[in-house]
Amino acid sequence: MRRRFAVASFSLAVVLGCGTLPAAAAAPADASRSALAVDALAAPDVDVTKMRAHLSELSAIAGRNGGNRRSTTQGYRDSVAYVKGKLQAAGYTVTEQPCTSGCTSGAGPNLIAEWPRGDTNNVYMFGAHLDGVSAGPGMNDNGSGSAALLENALTLAQQNPTMRNRVRFAWWTDEEQGLNGSKFYVRSLSSTQRSKIRAYYNFDMVASTNGGYFINRITSSAAAPMKAYWDSLGLRPEENTEGAGRSDDYPFEQVGIPTSGYAMGASARKTSAQATKWGGTAGSAYDPCYHRSCDTLTNIDTIGLNRAADGIAHTLWQQAVS
């Protein structure tokens, strides 16, 4: 997520696979998702172990390239190559879109992947920024959104359901320098192309270790399937006020495309009411390692990551699968 405020100097270590957020007291177990969450469209369960494997690879890429995956570095370009290779092997039409204006000099490309099924006049987009900051490897910000998106794309290909509408995935460059990759993409679309995008869903920091459950534009019709899924788990999500205008949904919103998405929070601090509802530590940042060197594999809440990824699948199936 693009920075707007100074980061509080907190530290918190969490072992990958042992998320810090307990299940909501009134929530059913995630494995036994309610009838609301698994209605007749039967969205699949997205494998969190495979998402963690993607995160491990992104971490290794950062480690081989100066410890980060900033948009202008080989670490970012290697991240693009990793995601692209997985998508091409799964049967996606994949395009690298160079950002030829408005991006930081030397920034790598956007990566756009379209599943070649469904009505091309009705497109649902799902996106996450793939770049990080110079301070660290960027595992929560935004390896988490990137990994959740990638495994959803691969799950869709594996399931290969009959598609009613078209699905397009995007991994954005240069978000941390001003949402530049997504701004360029939106500018590159004709008015006709924009009109075919029925909704854009964004996923930025979906595994914060002291996080909450936030939805962009939570009362909008685009958000309805996302909210329905988290409601079915008893999570009682809230509006993502901290993230408003700070991530890659904003350029789409500015041109009138409906937007939503999941987030678990950045440098803002968890309230007492939120700690009572979701667990975690009141008064501490949602992600104490936001834009810091400690945003490593230990800075991932696997429970939150799993709930976000399954909510993405539910939304995708609701909006696009026949």
Residues annotated catalytic, as ranges: 175
**81 Cβ partners below 8 Å, 6+ apart?**
none
74-90 helix and 145-159 helix, angle to the nearest 10 degrees? 20
| Beta strands in 10-142, from DSSP E residues, in sequence order | 93-97, 110-115, 119-129
- Structure letter (DSSP) for residue 177: G
* Torsion angle, alpha carbons of 114, 262, 25, 318, to 10: -40
User: Which two three-digit tokens encode residue 77?
Assistant: 């370009």
Q: Are 43 and 310 a contacting pair, CB within 8 Å?
A: yes
Helix axes 74-90, 48-64, angle to 10 degrees: 150
* Burial of residue 12 (number of CB atoms within 10 Å: 0-12, 13-18, 19+): middle
3-state secondary structure (DSSP) of residue 202: strand
Burial class (CB in 10 A: 0-12, 13-18, 19+), 91: middle
The one-letter amino acid code at 12 reads L
How far apart are the C-alpha atoms of 112 and 287, rounded to whole Å? 28
| Residue pointed to by tokens 């936001």 | 290
Query: Would you list the DSSP string of 205-256?
Result: ----TT---EETTTTSTTTHHHHHHHHHTT---EE--TTTTSSTHHHHHHTT
- Only one residue has tokens 């914060």, namely 208
* Residue 259 parent element (H or E): strand 259-263
